[in-house]
Chain A
Amino acid sequence: MSDLTELTAIELADRIAAGDASAEQAARAYLDAIDAREPTVQAYNEVWADRAIEQAKAIDARRAAGQGIGPLGGVPVAVKDNICTTYGRTTCSSKILANFRAPYQATAVDKLEAAGAVVLGKTNLDEFAMGSSTENSGTKPTRNPWDTDRVPGGSSGGSAAAVAARLCAAALGSDTGGSIRQPAAFCGVVGLKPTYGRVSRYGLVAYGSSLDQIGPLARDVADAALLTGVISGHDGRDSTSVPRDVPDMLAELDKPLENLRIGLPREFYSDALDAEINLAIHAAAEAYKDAGAEIVEVSLPHSRIDIDEAGKLSSYAAACYYIVAMAEASSNLARYDSVHFGHRTAERCDDIIELYSRSRAEGFGEEVKRRIMLGTYTLSAGYYDAYYNKALKVRRLIKNDFDAAFERCDVLLCPATPTTAFKLGEKTDDPLTMYLADIYTVSVNLSGLPGLSIPAGLSAAGLPIAMQLIGPVFSEPTLLAAGRMYEKASATSCLAPPMVKG
């Protein structure tokens, strides 16, 4: 039998359903891969080997008894460690939650398990999802499987690296400003940030509540479509989840899209963009044209990306995004009070303010502190209008640009990242430089849109290059079908890094 870890989630589910492989064999194959490569990649915070075997055996027993095993029956998946699970710990890669055991489970995980998925463990992230390289993890830095001197991106770096290194068949991540799409791009896998409200945020540890969304990281677009369908749907436990029927994401996936209009936002193709990425995306546009799509140029003026003489990037959207995200973070992270749960200082404190302040100082990492403090500042009296309220107005302008663009096209084609994966340590001294790794992804969260990052080949240095497709709200079926169209034409999906082949 060939190595089960080489199969996509759909292929593996088909084999298990057909009885050509067992769920236990699949779980063991992945646990073997984890034994071999996890010490190098360091994608997981926790691996649940015994429990995975147990879950897999239960799937095999169901099948043997003639019961349905679900669309993901026996498929081993990983879950980002800011998504609550009742098994194991949920740490957000933060010292403040080092021993936290969630009293309830995220709806997205419930749905995965109900669909038959076997959870292999929890993956590493930038602490509380704040970062673009997974170097802000309070646990350890995850390595990029394509080049272990480089970062996997972030904040869902553990999930992206695990999918790329074949340490799981697919994974859940979360995306507040690019945290699924950017690491997917750096690791050569597919990542989807669904429409805001499509997937329940119940059980997702809150960072920027108006921006956060759970989504899949997968080997190819079809797997991403399957997972998206499984985890989507209205949930009474998340008041921002949208009561709307979930279409079958796979039904129309392979149907060629007639009269597809693809928009190229001209502001995204400036000198700020890496030349190889630029070339790859224009080649993708040509491929779409050959497949009968119409290419139109559109404009997103408030998402414009500038580059100054010194090579420094800037954009209104990134400024707007960080103001909103930090403001929301300062409020959301007030809950870490060292009283109800989480790290508490061992030092004696005379009053409760001292207890809060010392425990939080010991428990939070530097980036989390910076963001809480900046958010606190921009919301404080006297600065609220200049920063937070101003950002909310710019947020509307950014969204209006997308609304206008979607009158002229069905999906937008653009970069996911300004560069390929950078080296560990390259940006850690300058937080502002790190923020700009999200420059092509943040507008999508501000506008609530779905965004899909897809591999678009390798650079001369052998690093994954990605493109991003963006659609109107709730257009996932079209967005995924458009991605699938390219994927089939280009054969850039499922690329295995050398460490897997070796």
Chain B
Amino acid sequence: MTQTIDEPLVRHIGKLSRIELTDEQVSTFGRQMSAILDYFGKLSELDTDGVEPMAHAVELRNVLADDVPGQSLTPEAALANAPKRDGDFFMVPKVIGDSQ
């Protein structure tokens, strides 16, 4: 399972992760991620045929809350940390272009 993370792949993963990367990071991360993934490959030594994957150590069931109205965050509290707001709205750059 030896996996080399080359520069185009690092850039692709950066894009999927929504993280801009400098050229220097692309090269450093590529090297480091290859070494780490190579280490992860150690798991391929183990035979896991027929083993049920375990996402949680403590068995979880659906946990439902009672349907009781209660106080949630006020708009003011919810917006208090917003880097940019307009009244009761969070501000983002234009999402839909003029030509679309």
The residues of A with any CB-CB pair to B shorter than 8 Å are 99-101, 103-104, 195-197, 210, 236, 239-240, 242, 302, 314, 316, 319-320, 322-323, 330, 334, 338-344, 349-358, 360-361, 364, 366, 369-370, 372-374, 376-378, 380, 386-387, 389-397, 399, 431-432, 435, 446-449, 473
Which secondary structure dominates chain B's binding surface? loop
Name 28 interchain pairs, CB-CB below 8 A, sorted by A: A103-B73, A196-B57, A196-B58, A197-B58, A323-B40, A323-B43, A330-B17, A341-B81, A342-B83, A351-B93, A352-B92, A361-B20, A370-B32, A373-B10, A373-B13, A373-B17, A376-B13, A377-B13, A386-B44, A387-B37, A391-B40, A392-B55, A393-B48, A393-B52, A393-B53, A394-B46, A394-B51, A396-B51
The residues of B with any CB-CB pair to A shorter than 8 Å are 1, 5, 10, 13-21, 25, 29, 32-33, 35-37, 39-40, 42-46, 48, 51-58, 60, 63, 65, 73, 77-78, 80-84, 90-95
B74 CB, nearest partner CB in chain A, Å = 9
Pairwise interchain contact A370-B33, C-beta atoms closer than 8 A: yes
Could you say which residues of chain A place their CB within 8 Å of the CB of B84? 339, 344
Pairwise interchain contact A446-B57, C-beta atoms closer than 8 A: yes
Pairwise interchain contact A394-B80, C-beta atoms closer than 8 A: no
Which secondary structure dominates chain A's binding surface? helix
Q: How far is the CA of A361 from the CA of B26 in the complex (A)?
A: 13
Could you say which residues of chain A place their CB within 8 Å of the CB of B48? 390, 393-394, 397
Could you say which residues of chain A place their CB within 8 Å of the CB of B10? 373
Pairwise interchain contact A319-B39, C-beta atoms closer than 8 A: yes
A256 CB, nearest partner CB in chain B, Å = 30
Q: How far is the CA of A266 from the CA of B24 in the complex (A)?
A: 44
Pairwise interchain contact A357-B46, C-beta atoms closer than 8 A: no
Question: Contacting A431 at CB < 8 Å: which of B15, B36, B77?
Answer: B36
Besides A242-B58, A316-B42, A387-B43, 8 other A-B contacts (C-beta < 8 A) = A104-B73, A320-B43, A372-B19, A373-B14, A373-B19, A387-B37, A389-B53, A431-B32
Q: Which residue of B lies closest to A436 (CB)?
A: B39
A321 CB, nearest partner CB in chain B, Å = 10
Question: Contacting A358 at CB < 8 Å: which of B20, B35, B56, B95?
Answer: B20
